[in-house]
Amino acid sequence: MSNGRGIMVRKDDREIVGYIRTFQSLESICDVQESLIRRYCNEHAISCGRIFRDIGYSKRRHTDDRWKAKRIGLDTKNWLHTFAAWEDMLLGVIDREIGCILVDTQARLFDGVEQKRVLKHLCTECDVTIIEVANSFPPDSAAAVRTTIYHYPVQFGARTCILLNDIDALYDYASHRKRWEVDSLFLDLSPNNREEFAHMLEMPKCDIVLVKNFFHVKRHTSSFIGVVKQLHKKGIRLVSMDEGELNISDKECVDLMKQPLKVVVYDHHKSEYQEETEKLQIEKFQAFVKYKTNGWTIRNIYIDGIRSGTKEELQRLIHDAEKYDIVLLDSFDKFGETIKFTKIMKKLNIPVYSLKEGVCISEAGN
């Protein structure tokens, strides 16, 4: 079972086909998959004879179709899930009619260990190429908001599982945004191996990177902020389906520095040393406000101690946030890891300035 990234390999005179699979009967999801296949064909001047479509699946195998499963090499039990178009496509592979399969991600081609085993065996035996059409860099297009999707699988103990429903939800989300057009999908098959993520960051140009949630970008907040800044330097927006958009703007930072703002300081001591140097830390905030801003005034200070597991002071700050114009802290890590950080940003609904990262972040909301 081979795969190419933007490389067309034709197998003699056999047919090139596409494959679409979705568990939901939503035209938007099918349209995105078909668009990616058609775009690839246009770019490489090839002809895709047929596109096989499995929209949903049968929960029980019909008795008359058992011969298909037997010929392909599947279990013929009638209670097993059946993907009719997938089986018809593999019959074409066995009959040497199909030599290449185009799909947005190989994850579409199997549902469970048995399908994966059968697919791999037949593609090797019949010398069939599988090409993921969505993980290449398409040429520039001024007709739409170019959207790149990134995702990785969930971990269940020692087993990783790619949730196609998550990818479908991202497709559907993008399709309902004005002029958004999905032109690439980068999918890492393991959360511990981020090769596709690194490849995505090398993109020459797109307008938006869409993820299910910001946790998929980076687990640690400081690393996450680094990626966001890297994308913004290229003019690329980062949007989360769950959390909305997180805006980072150096220009907004400069503008806010010149305004008379009511400032609230937050700190979280993570060690005894930080507790012992609390006075120095507060003096650092005061010096920054005095010498680096024009009219900022510290109105209150909220500090959680080393043993504050529930961060009572942070919760108080969130409750009182409407009284202030901006939050000042030394590092975004003080809010916790990325998943907590983005939730807190949304709840605060006011800008936050970090002394360490040197950026101003506005609301992360839908």
pLDDT tens digit sequence for 134-166: 876 666 656 688 999 999 877 655 555 667 889
C-alpha–C-alpha distance, residues 113 and 13, integer Å: 31
On whether both 119 and 219 belong to a single domain, the answer is: no
> Would residue 138 count as lying in a domain?
no
pLDDT tens digit sequence for 69-88: 899 998 877 667 789 999 99
On whether both 93 and 43 belong to a single domain, the answer is: yes
> Would residue 366 count as lying in a domain?
no
On whether both 13 and 115 belong to a single domain, the answer is: yes
The rounded percent of the chain whose pLDDT value lies above 90 is: 45
The pLDDT, as a whole number, for residue 269 is: 85
Q: Give which of 168, 160, 155, 92 is closest to 123, Cα–Cα.
A: 92
Task: Examine the fold and report which residue of 243, 261, 286 is the final residue of a domain before the chain moves on.
Answer: 243
On whether both 231 and 295 belong to a single domain, the answer is: no
The pLDDT, as a whole number, for residue 360 is: 73
> Would residue 174 count as lying in a domain?
yes
pLDDT tens digit sequence for 267-305: 998 777 677 788 898 999 999 999 999 989 999 999 998
pLDDT tens digit sequence for 175-208: 999 889 998 999 887 777 888 899 888 877 789 9
On whether both 254 and 191 belong to a single domain, the answer is: no
Beta-sheet strand order (sheet of 98-103): 2-4, 129-132, 98-103, 15-22, 50-55
Task: Examine the fold and report which residue of 195, 221, 243 is the final residue of a domain before the chain moves on.
Answer: 243
Task: Examine the fold and report which residue of 132, 158, 183 is the final residue of a domain before the chain moves on.
Answer: 132
C-alpha–C-alpha distance, residues 366 and 364, integer Å: 7
CB 221 within 8 A of CB 341: yes
Query: What mean pLDDT, rounded, does the chain reach?
Result: 86
Number of domains in the chain: 3
On whether both 351 and 260 belong to a single domain, the answer is: yes
> Would residue 139 count as lying in a domain?
no
On whether both 255 and 235 belong to a single domain, the answer is: no
Q: How far is CA 166 from CA 108, 125, 276, in A?
A: 12, 32, 46
On whether both 160 and 43 belong to a single domain, the answer is: no
On whether both 122 and 172 belong to a single domain, the answer is: no
Over range 199-220, report the average pLDDT.
Answer: 88
Give this prediction's pTM: 0.85
> Would residue 140 count as lying in a domain?
no
pLDDT tens digit sequence for 15-25: 999 999 998 77
On whether both 115 and 39 belong to a single domain, the answer is: yes
Over range 325-339, report the average pLDDT.
Answer: 92
The pLDDT, as a whole number, for residue 141 is: 59
On whether both 12 and 120 belong to a single domain, the answer is: yes
- Domain CATH code at residue 21: 3.40.50.1390
C-alpha–C-alpha distance, residues 191 and 151, integer Å: 9
On whether both 25 and 111 belong to a single domain, the answer is: yes
C-alpha–C-alpha distance, residues 213 and 186, integer Å: 15
End-to-end C-alpha distance for the chain, whole angstroms? 41
Domain limits for position 67:
2-132
> Would residue 137 count as lying in a domain?
no
